[in-house]
Structure 1
Amino acid sequence: MSEAVRERRGTPRPIRMLGDPVLRTECDPVRSFDASLERLVDDMFTSMYEAQGAGLAANQIGVPLQLFVYDCKDDKGRRHVGHVANPALVAADGELLEEPEGCLSLPGHHFTTARHALAVVEGVDIQGEPVRVEGTGYFARCLQHECGHLRGEVYIDVLSGEARREAMRAIRTAKL
């Protein structure tokens, strides 16, 4: 089944906002590769598209499993659409690019975040088959961001200096 078909079948779920404990909890591995996992991926794509995101981790909809979906372009403008269960970020390499980054769990805020220009993630698909995803540019940023979510991190955790201070001030005044 193609990812394009899957995106039209799911039910949108509410995105969890910063402050929800599920976002700060390391996720459990996916152990059951069945119809319920396929439905979860469908729901994740639908939720991501409804929120106008480029990636979504399962814990962002309250499901503490090691799973994320994505639909974003790389530095050459090529579109990448897919999902990874039990992902491991096996490489984050190359130049550090400092660019604005946002998160569906902290809507309306973008902070300059340093990410590597290349990322490689290995995991499995919804059938439990091995997958390896390589990304550059914005897609590399997305892969690093989503893997962080599954470790119980949010992107503001990688900020430093003035960007971190600015983020903390904005979060204190945000209405999430």
Structure 2
Amino acid sequence: MAIRRILTVDNAADLAVLKQISKHVAVVDDALRALMDDMLETMYDAPGIGLAAVQVGEPIDVIVMDLAREGEEPTPRFFVNPKITWESDELVAYEEGCLSVPEYYDDVERATKVKLTSLNYRGEVVEEEADGLFAVCIQHEMDHLKGVLFIDHLSRLRRDRAITKVKKARRAA
């Protein structure tokens, strides 16, 4: 396993990759599992709770996630070719952050509940319902697969402010 570099919005080349629409995965094989293992290690190291493959420069339909809180046993999850099959009309505002927009947080409205299908680490079809933080996180990560960042849900002013803040933080570091 290896820790990969996470692409960020303050770099024009990175942003061009982050804006790509990810491609469908044909098969879950050992090479894909190795990528998912690297992604999981990268996410834990960051630290974060979700990571899409495009965020490490691989624009394919893959997400890793672990919603375990500090001190809890890790519960890694893998989503290959995830698809939301239903979402509630009810929305919830949740303060989100993103490893590709480091140190910036803002409220985004998302469906409170969703149903989704995906392939797991072994390539098996999984259908499940998500609510709470799981629903927010899966919608956030699935946005990445469509080339959408959470700041794209904000006003232009707030989006520009987020990018400026990330650029300033990078220069200072």
TM-score bin, normalised by smaller chain: 0.7 to 0.9
What is the deviation of 1:59? 0.4
Corresponding position: 1:13 with 2:4: yes
Deviations 1:23-69 (A, max 9, x none): 10001111132111110110010000001111000000001110001
Deviations 1:49-107 (A, max 9, x none): 0011110000000011100011116xxxxx85311111112222152111211100000
Asked if the contact 1:111/1:167 (under 8 Å) is kept, the reply is: no
Asked if the contact 1:55/1:146 (under 8 Å) is kept, the reply is: yes
1:121-160 matched pairs, under 5 angstroms: 121-160=116-155
Gaps of 5+ in 1: 1-9, 74-78
Q: Give the TM-score normalised by structure 2.
A: 0.84
Deviations 1:130-155 (A, max 9, x none): 11232111111001001110011111
Distance 1:109 1:156 in 2: 9
Q: Give the TM-score normalised by structure 1.
A: 0.83
Distance 1:82 1:47 in 2: 14
Change (3 A) 1:166 1:150: same
What is the deviation of 1:157? 1.7
Alignment equivalent of 1:66, drawn from 61, 65, 68: 61
Alignment equivalent of 1:56, drawn from 48, 51, 54: 51
Q: Hey, what does 1:92 align to over in structure 2?
A: 87
Report how many residues are paired. Answer: 161
Q: Hey, what does 1:3 align to over in structure 2?
A: none
1:3-42 matched pairs, under 5 angstroms: 10-18=1-9, 19=12, 20=14, 21-42=16-37
Gaps of 5+ in 2: 69-73
Asked if the contact 2:65/2:76 (under 8 Å) is kept, the reply is: yes
Distance 1:133 1:69 in 2: 15
Corresponding position: 1:171 with 2:163: yes
